[in-house]
Amino acid sequence: MRPAALNRLTVQEAGDRYVELVRARTLTGGLSPATAEVYARDVATFADLAGGGRVLDDLDGADVDAVLLAFARKPDGRRAVPEGRAAPQGPAQSASSQARFRRSVSAMFKHAVLAGWVQVDPMTAATVSARERGGLRAERRALTREQATGLIGAARRLGEDGGGPAGERAARDGAAARRDQRTEVRDALVVLLLATVGPRVSELVRANVEDFYTNDGVRYWRIFGKGGRTRDVPLPGDVALVLDAYLAGERRGGGPAVAAGEALLLSWRGRRLARGDVQGVIDRVQRRVDPAHRRTVTPHGLRHTTATHLLADAVDMDAVRRVLGHGDLSTLGRYRDELPGELEVAMRSHPLLRDRDRDRG
């Protein structure tokens, strides 16, 4: 039974108390000392990544997601890289270590609910789950309308002002102030294309400048998809404006003319953007979103977002299928995620009752 009063402990205080209880279980034989120390180490790492001075009850699912993904990228001190050898690519922590860390955090929050340290277990709202292969990953789940518009709004602002003067950006984000290293408009373009057109991440990073053309005043993207199939998708006006701004000024710092077959999206070193870099781009833009409307999302989650909201707005299913590049409508059904409150909205505007509502008016 939940205590009547909430004890607003900081993350550090709650972690220390929980570790004391875990270590006490070793005295009764309920837990081995080695296992208890693993819990203690994971809880200490969680406090460090989440911020020990924050109130535990203030953490939500997005905060937990950020900590879990930060842990996955945290270097493993037990596996030293020999001198002269390059560090391994991919997540720094093994898949088993990531899954164990998530279990430790989940166990702590279960106790926190019973002890009255939190009102609601934030793990129930976390989207990052453990996989047998590949470790921790955010679920490929569509953003709600508020979350999606918050992300798109942040990207549009970034595309319009480039994030502010170069000096301000360098101080705020740690970004380089050199013109050939500015990536703000590129980041905005990446997020806008993913969230409004819904390409596969492989389609996005393979895109070349020549794949974008204008017909009767409308900007199109010729997307080269699976199985050698191509599709021409018109870009929303706001996205086309950011694309043109990127091509005119920010790509390569406004450098030389583009050659045929040259990549659209470049790293600040001038190389084609890699698939693994796209998640980092999304995360950077997410940091500009109001925390109340921010949630971790993968590139494929933004593809789900495109499909879900186009279908929820009664866009023709075949048109959505063609935008996403699916071969048939049955595949599209897997991309239609449930949105909170959508059933209530549907029943309030029931088509069989609209005539009666008009008569009352």
Give 78-122 pLDDT, tens digit per residue.
Answer: 555 445 544 444 456 888 888 899 999 999 999 999 999 998 898
- 275 has pLDDT over 60: yes
Question: Does the annotation count 220 as an active-site position?
Answer: no
Could you report the per-residue pLDDT of 58-67, keeping only the tens digit for each?
A: 888 878 888 8
Q: Answer yes or no: is pLDDT of 195 > 90.
A: yes
Per-residue pLDDT at 117: 94
Q: Is 326 a catalytic residue?
A: yes
Kindly report which listed range (18-22, 214-218, 239-243, 294-298) carries the lowest average pLDDT score. 294-298
The answer, yes or no, to whether residue 209 has pLDDT greater than 60, is yes
Residue 268 has a pLDDT of 79
Which pLDDT belongs to residue 194?
95
287-317 pLDDT, tens digit per residue, is 999 988 888 888 888 998 998 888 888 788 8
> Which residues make beta-bridge pairs with 230?
224
Q: What is residue 219's predicted lDDT score, i.e. its pLDDT?
A: 94
Question: Which pLDDT score is estimated for 96?
Answer: 85
pLDDT of residue 337: 62
Please identify which of the residues 200, 206, 219, 321 carries the catalytic annotation.
Answer: 200
Q: At residue 196, does pLDDT exceed 90?
A: yes
11-79+91-138 fold: DNA polymerase; domain 1 (1.10.150)
pLDDT of residue 335: 63
Catalytic annotation present for 100: no
303 as an active site residue: the answer is yes
- The arithmetic mean of pLDDT across residues 120-137, rounded, is 72
Query: Which is the CATH superfamily of the domain at 145-327?
Result: Intergrase catalytic core (1.10.443.10)
| DSSP class per residue in 54-111 | SBGGG--HHHHHHHHHHHHHS--TTSPPPTTSPPPSS-SS-HHHHHHHHHHHHHHHHH
- Whether the pLDDT of residue 166 is over 50: the answer is no
Catalytic residue among 303, 304, 309, 321: 303
Q: How is residue 21 written in tokens?
A: 């209880």
How far apart CA 199 and CA 66 sit, in angstroms, is: 25
Every domain of the chain and the residues it spans: 11-79+91-138, 145-327
Provide, rounded to the nearest whole percent, the portion of the chain with pLDDT above 90: 40
pLDDT at 83: 52
Q: Which helix (H) or strand (E) holds 23?
A: helix 11-24
d(CA 48, CA 44): 6
The predicted model scores a pTM of: 0.59
pLDDT in tens, 311-340: 888 788 888 888 988 877 776 676 666 666
Which tokens in the block code for residue 59? Answer: 């953490």
* CA–CA gap between residue 242 and residue 206 (Å, rounded): 19
In sequence order, the β-bridge partners of residue 232 are 222
- Say which of 18, 39, 246, 335 is annotated catalytic: 335
294 is catalytic: no
State residue 295's pLDDT score: 85
Is 309 annotated in the active site?
Answer: no
